[in-house]
Amino acid sequence: MISVAKFLMHISEINIYPIKSLKGISVDSVLVESRGLQYDRRWMLTDGNGKFMTQREFPRMATIGVAVESGQLKVESDEGVMEIPFEPDRGTQKQVVIWQSVCDGLVYDGEVSEWFSDVLATKCQLVFMPDETRRSVNERFDRGDDIVSFADGYPLLVISEASLADLNERLEEKRQAGMLAAPVPMNRFRPNIVVSGSAAFEEDSWDKIRVGEALFRGTKPCERCVITTVEQQKGEFDGKEPLKTLATYRLAKTVMPDRVDSLGVPPNAVLFGQNLIAETPGATINVGNSVEVIESHK
């Protein structure tokens, strides 16, 4: 089935998140790599045992700004600025853990990790994923050489503007009652690609899409967690929304009852957005590129 809206759809926003769970960067153009978008989640904070850290436990991570400059990152918080080389000069190789994945990373020893420890008031370390590290995607969707950065599980996430608009319409009554201060912004969901011109939740059905010269393969809708309840500007949990409302109409057993088992998704998982795998590393995508659905399912 080909989407009737395919010629109307285009990219309205591209985001990368160089350090996992820190503030994202909106870009106009980006190179597509095997692991996802260039620089996206190639760095990660972990505890002393190498276990990944996210806004789930440390919502203040959302407030740490990240910039990509020539050969380095620049991070910024209320407590100051730190310039970080792309790779540690004398990094220690260590195994790190992201969910069920274990892979090798290079730890920044000394002042870099100390800076993050001071900002977050907890002992932690910054880790870089070198090119030699090959972390595979979920075996259900791995075609033999599909790899991912330090993202939760898949190289990219796409969400449509219409899906967010649908959610905010459902939240409007709560806004009018003073239970919400403002519409929920897209940054609560941390997508890489935002699409304009589609129907709400049309991305659920995308098996393969073309964006400019790049091809992407859909895997499964994204399971959402409490990070969606973190007010990204403040770095604080902000009640139970939008997760509570999404749970009323976006449970896996409701959205895709016939696919829950085959995709390995818990029946009560809350779904919002579609996970993608890049099939054409080396291509570049740009804001404004058309989005064409090549293959889809009902």
Q: What is the pLDDT of residues 44-81, one digit of tens each?
A: 999 999 999 999 999 999 999 999 998 899 999 998 99
Cβ(134)–Cβ(4) below 8 Å: no
Cβ(26)–Cβ(297) below 8 Å: no
Q: What is the pLDDT along the chain (298 residues), one digit of tens a residue?
A: 444 444 589 999 999 999 999 999 999 999 999 999 999 999 999 999 999 999 999 999 999 999 999 889 999 999 899 999 999 987 789 999 999 999 999 999 999 999 999 999 999 999 999 999 999 999 999 999 999 999 999 999 999 999 999 999 999 988 888 888 889 999 999 999 999 999 999 999 999 999 999 999 999 999 999 999 999 999 999 999 999 999 999 999 999 999 999 999 999 999 999 999 999 999 999 999 999 999 999 7
Residue 126 CB contacts under 8 Å (≥ 6 apart), including other chains: 19, 43, 44, 45, 84, 107, 108, 112, 113, 116
May I ask the CATH class of domain 10-296? mainly beta
Q: What pLDDT, on the 0 to 100 scale, is given for residue 179?
A: 84
Predicted structure pTM score: 0.95
The residue ranges of every structural domain in the chain are: 10-296
